[in-house]
Amino acid sequence: MISFSSPSLFIRRYPILGVVALHVLLLAALTSVLYCFGVIHYLPDSENIARWDVYWYALIRENGYSFSTTSSSTAAFFPLLPYFWRFTHLDALGMGLLNFGIFLAAFAWLAHQLRLPARWALLLLSTPALLFMVIPYTEALFFLFSTLLLMGLHRGRLSWWMLGLVGCGLTRSASTMFVPALLFTTLLWAAQPGQARRALQWGGLGLLSNGIAVGTVMFIQWYQMDEPFAFYKAQQFWGHHLQAVHYPFVTPSGINMLWLDALALWVGLASIGVCTWLAFRWLRRRHQPLPAVPPAVVFALGYCVCITLFILSHQGGSLWNFGRYVLTTPFFVVLVWYLSTQPAWPRRFYVYLLLATLALWQVFGVYTLEFDNFTRSQALWYFALLTAYLFLYLTLRQLRWKGEVVMGLYVFNLVMQLHLLECFIQYFVVQ
**Is the CA virtual torsion 311, 273, 367, 384 positive or negative?**
positive
Cβ atoms within 10 Å, residue 126: 21
Low-confidence residues in the chain, pLDDT < 50: 1-4
Domain-embedded: residue 25 = yes
What whole-number distance in Å separates Cα of residue 108 and Cα of residue 128?
Answer: 18
Tell me, what DSSP letter sits at residue 289? P
At residue 260, the pLDDT reads 96
Count the domains in the chain: 1
Reduced to 3 states (helix: H, G, I; strand: E, B; else coil), residue 371 is strand
Summarize pLDDT for 170-191 with one digit per residue, the tens: 998 866 789 999 999 999 999 9
Cβ atoms within 10 Å, residue 365: 16
Domain-embedded: residue 300 = yes
Q: Cα separations (Å) of 14 from 2, 3, 200, 340? A: 18, 18, 35, 20
What whole-number distance in Å separates Cα of residue 387 and Cα of residue 40?
Answer: 27
Domain-embedded: residue 62 = yes
At residue 181, the pLDDT reads 96
| Element (DSSP H or E) covering residue 116 | none
165: buried, middle or exposed (CB in 10 Å: 19+, 13-18, 0-12)? buried
Preceding amide of 248 cis, omega within 30: yes
At residue 1, the pLDDT reads 43
What whole-number distance in Å separates Cα of residue 416 and Cα of residue 398?
Answer: 26
Domain-embedded: residue 391 = no
Domain-embedded: residue 258 = yes
At residue 7, the pLDDT reads 62
Residue 254 belongs to what domain range? 6-342+399-425
Cβ atoms within 10 Å, residue 349: 11
**Is the CA virtual torsion 106, 110, 115, 121 positive or negative?**
negative
Cα–Cα nearest to 294, from 172, 153, 89 = 153
Domain-embedded: residue 1 = no
Domain-embedded: residue 360 = no
Cβ atoms within 10 Å, residue 304: 27
Cβ atoms within 10 Å, residue 342: 8
Domain-embedded: residue 347 = no
